[in-house]
Structure 1
């Protein structure tokens, strides 16, 4: 991940009013993907219940609190579950079959994504690294607002 990226964690907290919900805010999907394009994986930590959420959002889905802090996530983790996708959405049909994994990062946050390893070679406990694929490295987006978004992919370490 990119250490020269802007400090995406320097915020005034989650959006509290509709005017605060902007594409630049890292608590929104566009802000999350802008940070990801810079090589920065963001999540939030709920101060009320200590839940980690990826992507960031303005309220905790575990307890409903808005007392959240944006935090940079590590780019390594461990596979805790996985499956093979044989019939993917149209955007990814040329990649099928492929492996999708749930990865627990060092902060305890969990992230789902495509794993660049054959299903038969994947194991629970396998170490992985998060890498970022730019829009030019991906199949065509299904929705126009996704055309410029990067995508995270896990690679075995």
Structure 2
């Protein structure tokens, strides 16, 4: 569906609430620019590559490869018990990139590792950092796969 067909309100898949609602329902949606083909994750109403507002909303694969990663050693106080943890930018098999936590220690991760997105509820610490309207949003984590 194109942005011309989607009302731009809080339920739109082109907004963060719409993106996380779809994720809670098991769908990973991305915006795909009809003009240049750029995959936008999370989706948004305009392409950050060419500026076009002709954005199609398409299901995205949950699999990809680690593009880059880092270790968080000094997190916000609410996540102190989680540290250290690994964060990565994952290039999905569609070419879009999504940032998320990796469910593996830093030393066990390498650029190019295959991963798959999984969705879970936020922990109490994660929920305490979220804005009120974000507290029910699902949390995505990448797991390494062979």
Per the normalisation by structure 2, the TM-score is 0.90
CA separation of 1:16 and 1:39: change in aligned 2, threshold 3 A:
closer
Q: Which residue of 1 aligns with 2:136?
A: 148
CA separation of 1:80 and 1:33: change in aligned 2, threshold 3 A:
same
Q: Check whether the contact 2:4–2:54 (CA below 8 A) recurs between aligned residues.
A: no
Q: Check whether the contact 2:67–2:91 (CA below 8 A) recurs between aligned residues.
A: yes
Query: How far off is 1:89 after superposition?
Result: 2.8
Query: How far off is 1:136 after superposition?
Result: 5.9
Alignment partner of 1:50 is 2:37: yes
CA RMSD between the two structures: 2.0
Q: Which residue of 1 aligns with 2:80?
A: 93
Q: How does 1:116-131 map to 2 (within 5 A)?
A: 116-131=103-118
- Distance in 2 between residues matched to 1:22 and 1:141, nearest whole Å: 26
CA separation of 1:56 and 1:152: change in aligned 2, threshold 3 A:
same
Deviation per CA, 1:83-139, whole angstroms, max 9, x where unpaired? 001112344222111000111111100111000110001011101010001246763
CA separation of 1:30 and 1:15: change in aligned 2, threshold 3 A:
farther
Per the normalisation by structure 1, the TM-score is 0.84
Structure 1 residue corresponding to 2:3, chosen from 14, 17, 36: 14
- Distance in 1 between residues matched to 2:9 and 2:53, nearest whole Å: 17
Structure 1 residue corresponding to 2:22, chosen from 35, 38, 54: 35
Q: Check whether the contact 2:102–2:143 (CA below 8 A) recurs between aligned residues.
A: yes
Q: Which runs of 5+ in 2 are unaligned?
A: none
- Distance in 1 between residues matched to 2:73 and 2:4, nearest whole Å: 39
Which moves more between the two structures, 44-53 or 128-137?
128-137
Q: Which runs of 5+ in 1 are unaligned?
A: 1-10
